[in-house]
Amino acid sequence: MGDIAVGKMKLKLKMEMMNKIIISDSGVVMIPTIVKMQEFEVAELLGVTYRALRANVKTVMGSNICYGDYSQGGVVYGNTIYPDLYGLDMVVAVSFRVQTPNAKALRDYILRRLTRSTAQPLFVSIGAQSQILS
């Protein structure tokens, strides 16, 4: 293969990985701005079987918490249509339902990001006294 063909293959691979959540072996979590993952990718990410993922997705969808991304089509199993892609909302919802090391790493990462305080105290001077408002 020529250098151009190899470069195009690397670019295509990089583009495909841009919409995927990645958890390294050391537990480092990387979440892109837009998440679009297929079922097998979510199952592999969370460390669950395909069947366990499907059961949890069905429960989450049945409770109307969130839905998959039907923009790329779907697959019919029995009376249920499963989307081809899932977004961040579904991955997070399922991660709170399963008990695996990767699901725990994802939950911990999300909770750390949500509870990280970025607010600075506001100093307000009222007359001769100063008060701190949080």
Residue type, 95: S
- pLDDT above 80 for 120: no
Q: Where are the domains of the chain?
A: 3-133
pLDDT digits (tens, 9 = 90+) for 33-52: 889 999 999 999 999 999 99
Q: In terms of Cα–Cα distance, which of 112, 110, 68, 72 is closest to 92? A: 110
- State the DSSP H helix or E strand holding residue 106, giving kind and residue range, or none if neither: helix 101-115
Write down the mean pLDDT value for the chain: 81
Rounded to an integer, what distance in angstroms lies between the CA atom of residue 53 and that of residue 50?
Answer: 5
